[in-house]
């Protein structure tokens, strides 16, 4: 199959070369050799337990593609339009792999997705084997890109096709410790006992290890006195919360998924666990509109260290308004925002590559310095030797008035943080 596709690309490129040569000699029909559309495989979990996040990702990617197409498409490729070939991982790695194969067989020349680290890890071998550039828009586990970079560095693979614009787990851990330290100082409090809880899947394991490593490196004024994993998705968290309660935490630091967040917060209330606050080092399940609607007052004042749209940019607010209309009133958030930016990066790369040849696209990815994104960042999107974007970063959001708002860092804050949380 790879051979057949490779022959097809060579045939196409040969045709372009012939047409280009003909153009030199006075045949202006060269543009007719350019593709009318460029197919982008957009694969997210739009059904199953991660469906709210996956649907947000898909709509964000579609909106960005619509915006690119409305302004003339990929101009260096004759105004080629972006055509999305949609896939659904269902939140299952084995399905993610087959969906990646399906969209590639359907003609996808670039992959974008998938939200879950486990799904991303399953899609990576497909992209590498099929020589399809793959931009991971959301998925934090460090090995997703690091393993490929290592294989290329050691000569086991020739080219790295997998890149990521989302923060890595290591970045999440570092920002979480930094923000917690700064927030405690800002609030004039000194919590001493933190309990870390996490979903025991690839994402949760990576986030937990990164948080612990960052804590060890920074040596803040609080200790991690207990670490409590749970199987994801859990059927009951009463035992884990009982263990948490016995540890007498000042801070509860959960790394959740939507399903586990819906069990954890009610159980904290049921067992009357008192703490200064619930602050996640970085999790889904603690900011989405559907989660807030289900958890109501139980999620009020919860903080989460997540990448977030830069709403101080008027263009971001305009996109968020359109997103609200197209989503039935939902918030433009981590998931929709990063997939929106991801599709814009794909368009930027194709524009500069002036080709859909995978090696040309990869070369353009490596030279990326993209400043047109709408998420909070530390600088332009660039890709380092691992394939990650070192300028991706996060912000501390808090649920205030049943809405997620940025409360830290200070220069990005939309509202003043509330900490410690009021007694219930």
Query: How far apart are the C-alpha atoms of 357 and 187, rounded to whole Å?
Result: 53
Q: Burial level of 89, CB count in 10 A (0-12/13-18/19+)?
A: buried
pLDDT of residue 68: 98
Strands 403-408 and 395-400: antiparallel
Cα angle 368, 143, 108 (rounded to 5 degrees) comes to 55
pLDDT of residue 412: 86
288: left (phi over 0), alpha (psi -120 to 50) or beta: beta
Complete edge-to-edge strand list for the sheet that includes strand 403-408: 223-230, 193-199, 251-255, 277-280, 303-306, 395-400, 403-408
pLDDT of residue 423: 81
Let me know how many helices (H) and strands (E) the chain has, helices first. 13, 12
Could you report the average pLDDT of every consecutive run of 10 residues in the chain (424 residues)? 35 33 38 72 96 96 98 96 98 97 98 96 98 97 96 97 96 97 97 97 93 97 98 95 98 96 97 96 94 97 96 94 96 96 98 97 98 94 98 96 94 93 85
pLDDT of residue 33: 52
pLDDT of residue 312: 86
The tokens describing 327, both together, are: 């989503």
DSSP for residue 380? S
SS3 per residue for 68-128: HHHCCCEHHHCCEEEEEEEEECCCCHHHHHHHHHHHHHCCCCEEEECCCHHHHHHHHHHHH
Q: pTM to 2 decimals?
A: 0.84
Q: Which of 422, 417, 423, 424 is nearest to 182 (CA)?
A: 417
Query: How far apart are the C-alpha atoms of 196 and 57, rounded to whole Å?
Result: 28
Query: How far apart are the C-alpha atoms of 266 and 274, rounded to whole Å?
Result: 13
Cα angle 176, 114, 42 (rounded to 5 degrees) comes to 140
Query: How far apart are the C-alpha atoms of 313 and 315, rounded to whole Å?
Result: 5
């Amino acid at each position: 199959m790879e051979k057949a596709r490779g022959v097809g690309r060579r045939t196409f490129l040969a045709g372009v070369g012939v047409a280009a040569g003909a153009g030199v000699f006075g045949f202006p029909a060269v543009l007719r050799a350019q593709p009318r559309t460029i197919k982008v495989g957009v694969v997210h979990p739009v059904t199953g337990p991660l469906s709210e996040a996956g649907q947000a990702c898909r709509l964000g990617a579609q909106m960005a593609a619509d915006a690119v197409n409305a302004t003339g498409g990929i101009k260096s490729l004759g105004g080629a339009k972006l055509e999305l070939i949609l896939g659904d991982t269902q939140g299952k790695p084995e399905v993610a792999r087959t969906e990646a194969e399906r969209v590639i067989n359907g003609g996808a020349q670039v992959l974008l997705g998938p939200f879950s680290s486990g799904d991303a890890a399953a899609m990576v071998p497909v992209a590498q084997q099929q020589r399809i550039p793959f931009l991971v828009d959301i998925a934090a586990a460090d090995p997703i890109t690091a393993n490929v970079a290592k294989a290329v560095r050691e000569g086991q693979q020739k080219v790295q096709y997998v890149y990521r614009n989302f923060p890595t787990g290591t970045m999440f851990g570092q920002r979480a410790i930094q923000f917690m330290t700064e927030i405690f100082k800002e609030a004039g409090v000194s919590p001493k006992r933190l309990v870390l809880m996490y979903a025991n899947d690839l994402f949760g394991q990576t986030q937990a290890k990164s948080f612990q490593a960052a804590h060890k490196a920074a040596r803040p004024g609080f200790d991690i006195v207990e670490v409590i994993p749970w199987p994801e998705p859990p059927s009951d968290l009463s035992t884990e919360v009982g263990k948490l309660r016995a540890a007498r935490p000042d801070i509860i630091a959960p790394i959740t998924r939507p399903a586990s967040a819906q069990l954890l917060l009610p159980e904290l209330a049921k067992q009357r666990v008192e703490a200064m606050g619930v602050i996640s080092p970085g999790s889904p399940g603690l900011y989405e509109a559907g989660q807030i609607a289900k958890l109501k007052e139980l999620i009020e004042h919860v903080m989460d260290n997540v990448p977030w749209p830069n709403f101080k940019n008027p263009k971001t607010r305009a996109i968020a308004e359109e997103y609200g209309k197209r989503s039935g009133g939902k918030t433009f958030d981590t998931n929709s925002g990063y997939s929106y930016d991801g599709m814009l990066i794909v368009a930027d790369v194709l524009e500069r590559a002036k080709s859909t040849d995978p090696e040309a696209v990869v070369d353009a990815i490596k030279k990326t310095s993209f400043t047109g994104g709408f998420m909070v960042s530390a600088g332009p999107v660039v890709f380092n030797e691992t394939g990650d974007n070192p300028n991706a970063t996060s912000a501390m959001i808090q649920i205030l008035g049943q809405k997620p708002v940025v409360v830290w860092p200070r220069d990005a804050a939309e509202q003043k943080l509330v900490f410690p949380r009021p007694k219930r």
